[in-house]
Amino acid sequence: MEANAAILIGMGGLGCPAALALAQAGVRQLTLVDGDRVELSNLPRQPWYRTADVGRPKARVAAERLQKAFPGLAVRVVAEHARPDTVAELVRGHDVALDGTDSVAAKYFLSDAVARTRIPLVFGGVVQFEARAFRIDPGGPCLRCLFGEAPDEDEVPTCSRAGVLGALAGVAGALQARLALEPDDASGSARLHVLDARGELRVRTLSVPRVAGCPGCGAGRSAT
């Protein structure tokens, strides 16, 4: 698949570097979705933002900077959070979506939406010294195949609670962009990429099978 239009849901530590990598790769249209405003604590790992931007909508600031750096790029801004009832409309017309959220609930409803929208999603997650990236194609496997049912939000370490190695988020976002540009895969299995930055950077790639009857991508869905 040639990705001409990509949507980034979350413009934080993953979305910022992913947007740069997609623009560099020649993607012609980017939609930036984020309801947050720039905070001082974002600056070390979210390189589109400056001190003077604190308080401004992240999606708008990132769009301005991307537009300056890549004058031929079409950038659209959605300065609100994606929700389960808006995600299908948001992703419509794009070739691929990238998850840059920091919320378990958001990651699951984005994964569930792939079966409905038929638009692939590249999941990303980074906490402390470990990052994960995983491409979800229509027909699965999906996040529920990989992790099972959604855990309680409070029980999962997120980057806002547990902290994150900023440079690792940069690598993970760039990896998400690369996965977004891969051709569609209807093989029924997928690869989970795990980056471990404790000590030297190690990368593991694990095969993830589709779980029969999975409520996210299974039951009544067929791979295309």
Q: Which residues are catalytic?
A: 159
Taking CB under 5 A as the rule, does residue 144 contact Zn ion? Answer: yes
Across-strand partners of 132?
125, 194
Q: Where are the beta strands (DSSP E) in 128-224?
A: 130-136, 189-196, 202-209
How does strand 130-136 pair with strand 189-196?
antiparallel
Binding status of residue 114 toward Zn ion by CB under 5 A: no
Treating both helix axes as pointing N-terminal to C-terminal, what angle do 58-69 and 15-24 enclose, rounded to 10 degrees? 20
Which tokens sit at 80?
Answer: 């609100």
Least distance (Å) from Zn ion to the CB of residue 132?
A: 16
Q: Which stretch binds Zn ion (CB under 5 A): 15-23, 143-151, 169-177, 189-197?
A: 143-151
List, in sequence order, every residue forming a beta bridge with 73; answer none if it has no partner: none
Stretch that binds Zn ion, among 30-38, 41-49, 132-140, 155-163 (CB under 5 A): 132-140
The backbone torsions φ and ψ at residue 100, rounded to the nearest 5 degrees and listed phi first, read -125, 30
Q: Is residue 107 within the footprint of Zn ion (CB under 5 A)?
A: no
100 touching Zn ion, by CB under 5 A: no
Q: How far is the CB of 204 from Zn ion (least distance, A)?
A: 21
> Which member of 145, 172, 175, 208 binds Zn ion (CB under 5 A)?
145
Q: How far is the CB of 83 from Zn ion (least distance, A)?
A: 21
Q: Who's near 119: CB < 8 A, 6+ residues apart?
A: 91, 92, 94, 95, 96, 97, 138
Q: Between residues 145 and 179, which has the closer beta carbon with respect to Zn ion?
A: 145
Chain mean position to CA 98: 3
Minimum distance of Zn ion from residue 130's CB (angstroms): 22
Tokens of 72: 């031929």
Interface residue with Zn ion among 140, 168, 172, 174 (CB under 5 A) is 140
The answer to whether 110 and 125 have CB atoms below 8 angstroms apart is no
Q: Which residue in the set 33, 142, 175, 177 belongs to the binding site for Zn ion (CB under 5 A)?
A: 142
Is residue 214 part of the contact set for Zn ion (CB under 5 A)?
yes
φ and ψ at residue 64, rounded to 5 degrees: -60, -45
Residues that bind Zn ion (CB under 5 A): 140, 142, 144-145, 214, 216-217
